[in-house]
Amino acid sequence: MKNFAERLIAWQKRHGRHGLPWQQTRDPYAVWLSEIMLQQTQVGSVIPYYQRFMLRFPNIATLAAAPLDEVLAHWSGLGYYARGRNLHCAAQMMVERHGGIFPDKFESVMALPGIGRSTAAAILAFAFGQRRAILDGNVKRVLARCFGIAGYPGLKPVENILWQKAESLLPDSGIETYTQALMDLGATVCHRKPVCVACPLNAGCVAFKQGRVAELPEPKPRKPQPQRETVMLILLREGEVYLEKRPPVGIWGGLWSFPEADVKEDALAACRERFGIEGRPLPALPDFTHTFTHFRLKVQPCPIAVTAWRPEARQPEGLWLNLEEALGAAVPTPVRRLLEQLGG
């Protein structure tokens, strides 16, 4: 397609997004934070988290020096918590290796945890004006439709073709506007249900001309999503609730959560054996399902009033907190949901 970059740049200046908080700066720290938060998360959800995060952690040094618990507390509810852990780790790496300065070399940025090829390119384009190609999910969709590239973009051979195309289309100048234009077009026009009449590329778009918009890009081959089940033990004692810290890796790594038991396990017996707690069951809360990327988790809340306990049996990674304290901790969304029900 002729004038691909020029068409996009002109469109972005007239119709693109210009008022997002991270667009008002070239500070690589702020750009980095926004790019990480925007991974798999909508702009509207990100903005309040970004603003709160920047107020508390305004620079690399502040973030690196903060306790991980506090970082995750500010991330709580945004999901994909490995992003928050990687941010904290990367900030500490930059303090140790780069004197607290965000690096401007592609290889150095790629070496930071949580940053892949496309994210590194976006940061360097927006913060330093470097001429680099991006290829996030939105851009893959735009290129697949515009140039009629078949196949599921998550497959390596298809992704390689898309990368080659993305590299070949880069403009000689105006990389920041061009990069933003690709992001904006994919987010606001060329989404799953595209508004092709508003697209600046429709005259040369293969999918539009051939009536293949609904076919491209090809979807990921679907597999049945497995379902797991767990019982969350909601232990209540004198106005306090018991939370324990999860292992640093895995689902909800490093976050505070209710202890869990197997659905076939006797909940009261589990409390007695694991925590030295005697209790009585309270009225049940409704079961619910929480969906992750690769599976669905059915949660059975099990509220228990603690009637007696042995202090010496307390687990070192557990804390008794009142509801306000618990809601202020770094807790995953399902735990927050249950805490809010208890407080309601």
Query: Is 35 one of the annotated active-site residues of the chain?
Result: yes
Q: Cα(76)–Cα(79) distance, rounded to whole angstroms?
A: 7
The secondary structure of 239-282 as a DSSP string is TEEEEEEPPSSSTTTT-EE--EE-TTS-HHHHHHHHH-EEEEE-
- Residues near 186 by beta carbon (within 8 Å), at least 6 away in sequence: 136, 137, 138, 139, 141, 142
Among 35, 70, 176, 229, which one carries the catalytic annotation? 35
Coil, strand, or helix at residue 102? coil
Q: Extract long-range pairs of 280-289: CB within 8 Å, 24+ residues apart.
A: 280/304, 280/305, 280/307, 281/305, 282/236, 285/234, 285/338, 285/341, 288/334, 288/337, 289/227
Could you give the residue numbers annotated as active site?
35
